[in-house]
Amino acid sequence: MKKYHLIPIIILFSDFIFGQIVYQPLNDQVYNYLSILSRKGITNFEDLMRPVSRKYIAQKLLEADEKKNELTDLEKEELEYYKKDFYLELESFKKENEEKQNLSFFGKDGGGRIRLFSYSDSLFKINISPILGYQLNFPEKERESHSWNGLYLYGYLSDNTGFSFDFRLDNEVLQTKKVTMNRFTPETGKITAAPVSKNFDYSETHAMLTIDWTWGSISAGKDFLEYGHGESGKLVLSTKAPSFPFLRLNLQPVSWLTFNYFHAWLNSDVIDSVNILEYRRSIYREKYFAWHSIIITPFDGFDISIGESIIYSDHLEFIYLIPIMFFHFSDDFVSSRVNKPGDANTQIFLTLSSKGHIKNTHLYGTLFIDELTIPNFDNSLFPNGKTIEDEEYDERLRTQFGFTLGGSISDLPLNNLTFTAEYTKINPFVYGHHTPAQSYTNSSYLMGHWAGHNSDLFYLSVNYRILRGLHADLWGEYIRKGSEDYSGQYIQPQPPFLFGLKRSFRYIGLDLNYEIFHELHASARAKFGKVSEEQDEANFINTNFKEFSFSFYYGL
């Protein structure tokens, strides 16, 4: 009888079917293009939660096309360039769309864009592109190389199903010396068999299947998800950790309200000591991540978003599969209030974003609360050495939160020039948890800001778009980092910001990237820095370094 229960659901979805959704990879420059147009008030591009769908991007390109007279000459050229890439999606908006059969192999599709393979008809559409790349890095006198290859495809089936898939099977990294897992950079973490080695290889695979209707969509896949604004890193969800599998629900019942939810399966990297003897091999503890947020847009260009997430382990809990459930109070039900403060790791976050309300300007701020409690001014109640195991433990002295404040301004004083300034501060012990399997990580990499707890960061950049596809970024960072130790997380009083031996990092860099034609890129980077490390004697050791890199690749 269970199979008959699906019939009303199928009928319900069929009544609301609107079009297909394929999410666009995060590293496509079209995101930057639409962000610039959004801060100029030409279109309202909502990118707080990314990736967004190709159809949504196509809609924004149409809006920009209607205001061509407000674009710079370069922006007009870029618009025509992107319209070729999003030809299939743009065609779907036409009232009289004949959906003729179109097939090309090593040729141009219906929009005039060169593809490895392209096919479309009234039922089925697919585009396939190769992935090839080679990168050379020269950190000081060392040499590193990275080569990769694979395949990317996306397409649509009927009127309500979109799919995408990409893999990179032969990521090969060759180095002249052994390096550890590179955590203190914004570069995405790698899952390898030998994390400390001169030479290693790894693979990457992403896939997504989405069904949508007029006011929402549901997806199953493995990919990256980003939330928030931040050029130097994102506090809530970033691409520092490897991608993970998830179920995702997006609802927009009215134009001013968006609801996002997903439930993910993470890698804990924590060995299950209970089952290891039974299976006689390494068994890792299960780890799960539930996340939801609402975005309220009271007027164009202004977003208010609040959300909540929870990381739990060992057993899949149905209660966290309920998208509108309040996770923090659900944790009381699951843990029976035995292991307070919580059997799971909960977070709350808030974001404000204003685009175009000050001419050509985007202002934004994000607050990430891992644990925030009311201060108790009677410190005598909490002598040094008090820990979570003490019965009289009072958690009201913990202020574990981080925030980002930033802004960008475009076309001042020159057209196609963007200036960005940003500050991020992350208090001690943010992202940590007393249960290692419930820390804010996937495969041992932070899912939030790569700088980690007990740190702050000042970031400045100037971006100039020289011609279509060619842009230069001059940027600088100043980072302060205290101890990375989490062992004092539940000791009162809490240590001050930047406790422990301190390090500071000063970076300045110049990045050049040229998208020669669709998906074919050439890039170069020059980076110079100075690292100061505090010693036990309160002295500092200073180290200067420089690094150059060059890459040539095809594919997103």
DSSP per-residue codes, 462-487: EEEEEETTEEEEEEEEEEEE-----T
Please give the Cα distance from 145 to 148 (Å, whole number).
10
Whole-number pLDDT of residue 281: 59
Please give the Cα distance from 181 to 176 (Å, whole number).
15
Tokens representing residue 399 in the block: 């202020």
The per-residue pLDDT for range 485-505, each reduced to its tens digit, is: 988 887 878 899 999 999 999
Higher pLDDT, 210 or 494: 210
pTM of the model: 0.89
Q: 452: alpha, beta or left, given left = phi > 0 and alpha = psi -120 to 50?
A: left
Asked if 406 and 229 count as a contact pair (C-beta separation under 8 A), the reply is yes
Asked if 173 and 201 count as a contact pair (C-beta separation under 8 A), the reply is yes
Asked if 455 and 426 count as a contact pair (C-beta separation under 8 A), the reply is yes
Is the previous residue joined to 413 through a cis bond, with omega within 30 degrees of 0?
A: yes
Whole-number pLDDT of residue 397: 59
Region 116-135: what's the mean pLDDT?
93
Q: 280: alpha, beta or left, given left = phi > 0 and alpha = psi -120 to 50?
A: left
On the question of pLDDT at 471 being above 70, the answer is: yes
Percent of the chain with pLDDT over 70: 85
Lowest mean pLDDT among 99-113, 134-148, 336-350, 438-452: 336-350
Asked if 403 and 424 count as a contact pair (C-beta separation under 8 A), the reply is yes
Beta bridge partners of 2: none
On the question of pLDDT at 395 being above 80, the answer is: no
pLDDT band at 413 (very low <50, low <70, confident <90, very high): confident
Whole-number pLDDT of residue 377: 42
Region 105-112: what's the mean pLDDT?
87
Region 411-423: what's the mean pLDDT?
94
On the question of pLDDT at 146 being above 80, the answer is: yes
Indicate the fold that domain 17-111+212-554 takes in CATH: Porin (2.40.160)
Lowest mean pLDDT among 60-69, 189-198, 387-396: 387-396
Please give the Cα distance from 35 to 29 (Å, whole number).
10
What does the mean pLDDT of the chain come to?
86
Largest CA distance in the chain: 79
Query: At residue 158, what is the residue type?
Result: S
Lowest mean pLDDT among 83-97, 342-356, 402-416, 518-532: 83-97
